[in-house]
Chain A
Amino acid sequence: MVDSRSSKLAVVVAQDANEGRAKLVAALARVAQGDRAALAELYRRTCAKLFGLCLRILSDRAEAEDVLQEVYLTVWNKAAQFEVARGVSPVTWLMVIARNRALDRLRARGQRFGALEEAAEIADLAPLADIALDAREVSQRLAACLDALETRAASAIRAAFFGGQTYERLAAQAGMPLGSMKSLIRRSLMRLKACLEP
């Protein structure tokens, strides 16, 4: 009884997710043709998720807002590129851009103008066109693979992902020698890769 109800719910949720994704894909296609209303729709549907990520990385509201704005202007100018990357969910595409921009900003902090010219170009995801993702499923798999690593490796990977932390800072925080932190992370990354792609 409970099982059938929850599986029914799961189907409904999955349908909603597919519908939402289809709407985003359609909006993005219209953005590529210069449809401003479509960008407004895309923004309404995704801005809270993207802003949450920018805020988590930057811990500064004004800076996170600045980056968020850059992200949507990038989307406005580069939406046509997404057409090539069919199969990648629009949210994935947006989140990669948002994270890269936020980390660029984090690195540029304190350097004033120094980092401007080094700002990375927009991530070119076209080669990933054949990878289709179900966000929740993939997220659970990643969490399971991270849990299988040494605890300190998993937490260092999370800290680095959201914090743009360099090896030096991670090692200092964990009270480990720099070399040990490096080999721990490198070893863990290869284990993570193997776990995700058996």
Chain B
Amino acid sequence: MNTPESDPPEDDLNALAGEYVLGLLAPEAVAQVEERRRRDSAFNAAVNAWQIRLLPLTEEVSPVQPRARVWTGIAAEIAPRGEKKASLWNNLKFWRALGFGAGGFGVLGLAAALVALVWLRSPSLVPIATATLISQHDGVFVATAQQAGAGVLLVVSPSQVSVPADKSAELWLVLPTGKTQALGLLASDRPVAVTLTPLQLGGGIAKLALAVSIEPPGGSPTGVATGPIISVAKFLPL
């Protein structure tokens, strides 16, 4: 027996919320559910209730310690900006918490935090978003977006990234449509600055993502990524 599509009974909606939380639905159905969540608060509450109902299943999972580089990337992203920077340097508790002295995270964290600090120093530029591009192989590029007039200055700092000697790492802007635009080559040993135009910014930086691909020396010959994409990350607005 088919359920009429126009007016699904409450039980059906509740089951749909459960199916959504379980992740059973096809992408089109997921989009419909997310649209309904936004306009139907009762349905949204049903979805949240299923989240809570099923979450205890996670108690069945054994904890696993992640590698230190995860925290390294986080520490780089949350490094302070503007007036907060002085207090950070004096904040021994912060450095201890990061694992210095305990030998936990060590030089890597310091290097990443330093790179971020140096590039966030200029008081005239206001950081508005960050994106962390973690390479599938090693290291991480941390991109910091700063408002500069109507455009955005993007500073992309490498940390422990290695690029094969006969290749180039190329940075791509991923538009909300999924289309990509080449932003230039990245260096594995120094930060690189790129400008995003108001046109590229479109509906706001939160809708954009960055990607890094490995290309022939000098970059993709075609204007689209030709080599393996080692990382994709959305901008997180600050």
Contacts and interface: CB of A to CB of B under 8 A. Distances in A.
Nearest to A137: B56
Interface string B7-49: 0000110110011001111110011001000000100110011
A36 B80 contact: yes
Nearest to B137: A62
19 contacts: A36-B91, A37-B96, A40-B97, A52-B62, A65-B66, A66-B231, A99-B58, A112-B178, A118-B34, A125-B52, A127-B41, A139-B60, A142-B56, A161-B23, A165-B23, A166-B26, A186-B15, A193-B14, A196-B53
B24 A55 contact: no
Contacts of A55: 64
Interface string B54-94: 11111111111111011101110110100010001001011
A138 interface: yes
A72 to B, nearest CB: 5
Contacts of A128: 48-49, 52
Give the dominant DSSP class at A's interface: helix
Interface residues of A, number: 78
Interface of A: 34, 36-37, 39-41, 43, 47-49, 51-53, 55-56, 61-62, 64-66, 68-70, 72-74, 76-77, 88, 92, 95-96, 99, 103, 106-107, 112-120, 123-125, 127-128, 131, 133, 135-136, 138-139, 141-143, 157-158, 160-168, 170, 185-186, 189-190, 192-193, 196
Contacts of B232: 112-113, 116
A16 to B, nearest CB: 16
A116 B27 contact: no
A76 B61 CA distance: 25
Given A47-B70, A88-B52, A128-B48, 13 more contacts: A34-B84, A52-B63, A61-B67, A65-B69, A66-B134, A73-B132, A103-B23, A119-B234, A139-B57, A157-B22, A160-B22, A166-B26, A189-B22
Contacts of B19: 185-186, 189
Given A36-B94, A186-B19, A193-B53, A118 B27 contact: yes
B27 A99 contact: no
A112 B225 CA distance: 12
